[in-house]
Amino acid sequence: MANAIAVNLRRLRKLRKLTQQEAADRGGISRVAYRSIEKGEAEPRARTLDALAGGLGVSVFDIVAEVPELKSLRFRSLKSLSSQEKAEREQIAVDVGVWLQDFNEIEEIVGDRVAYRLGGSDFTGAKPEVAAAAARDSLVPECKVCVPDVCDLLEHAGVKVHLRPSTMRGFFGLSVGAQDGGPAIAVNIEDEIPVERRIFTAAHELGHLLLHVNSYVSDLTDEDDAQEHEANAFAGHFLMPQNAFERVWEENRGLHWVDSVLHTKRRFRVSYKTVLRRLIDMGACDASIYGKFVRSYGARYHKRLRYKDEPELPETKAEEPSMLDRADFVEDRLSRLVRIAVEEDLISISRAAEILGLSLMEMRERIREWEAFG
């Protein structure tokens, strides 16, 4: 236990930008005593653990829990990270590891495990657009334009999906291989990240799982630029197949070119940048199109478009999809399994709350909602 305490304390302290002296002061012990605990040389008494947990704003469990070891975690982030950002990166990995353990446990308890439908496919060395077309044919053969619900699609394909907010710079998502209880995908749903970007991230990570299966071999694997570009290309073609894109783009020929981009992005539920990227790949324009679009959109609709923004759409016909919001990107399989386990008395309410990341009060309210609305 002493080693787990040491690892957790060090990560949590750095996450809060505290020195060892500041952490020791919050725990009411000397710096020497704290340093010995953080190095794993001493095991704190229960009273000290309570004080340290209170000082760090966490539970005692967060300090003493064994850290899950994920050996097949792909995690792209900025190459230059501060000490605090490295700790946040580690915390994300810990949270995903715990979530994945809980997910597999509840699947086992309920007896409802979904087989990975793409597990027998080998796309190593395949072109991203070829792999994307094969994946669409396998998962949504009837879909001719947009993928209606990416989270639901992935969960029915046996890929576990975790939605987690994080303010960490450069972090949009990660994926975990089958050897660690996956395949699984985690997506950053921090408020400033548009829903279109979240959808793209999920498809991007699916691209890694299919194209780069042999790279899920070491802890906290960083993705190289070539594989990153391949995953981006996969996501673009998975969400927006070339033939369908050309058909929709042709339909929009009479519109102002900005409106053509907006209409196309709406049809495929993608970012405007994904549409512009496709035009660049087709040789219709060069990278200057990004700046040109921002300027033209601003001039046409008198609205400023910041780096992370998705452009607001002009009024559309009633039958066309509206602008995306949070309800367009929601995972629900874990919650459903927890509900089954609670209703069949397979787990306690407190365990259900722990798995779903809710307080006991929030969990009881959730159960009341289940009972009220069936």
Is pLDDT of 220 > 50? no
Has residue 181 got a pLDDT over 80? yes
pLDDT of residue 374: 65
Query: What pLDDT score does 371 carry?
Result: 87
Average pLDDT, the chain: 88
Is pLDDT of 351 > 90?
yes
- pLDDT at residue 319, as a whole number: 41
What is the pLDDT at residue 335? 93
pLDDT-based confidence at residue 69 (cuts at 50, 70, 90): confident
Q: 317 pLDDT band (50/70/90 cuts)?
A: very low
CA-CA distance, 132 to 136, in Å (whole number)?
6
Mean of the pLDDT values across residues 214-233? 77
Question: What pLDDT was estimated at residue 330?
Answer: 83
Any idea which of 79-83, 163-167, 233-237 has the lowest mean pLDDT?
A: 79-83
71: pLDDT strictly greater than 80: yes
**What was the pLDDT predicted at 169?**
84
Identify the weakest region by mean pLDDT among 99-113, 209-223, 317-331.
317-331
Residue type, 122: D
Q: What is the pLDDT of residues 239-297, one digit of tens each?
A: 999 999 999 999 988 889 999 999 999 889 999 999 999 999 999 999 999 999 999 99
Model's pTM, two decimal places?
Answer: 0.89
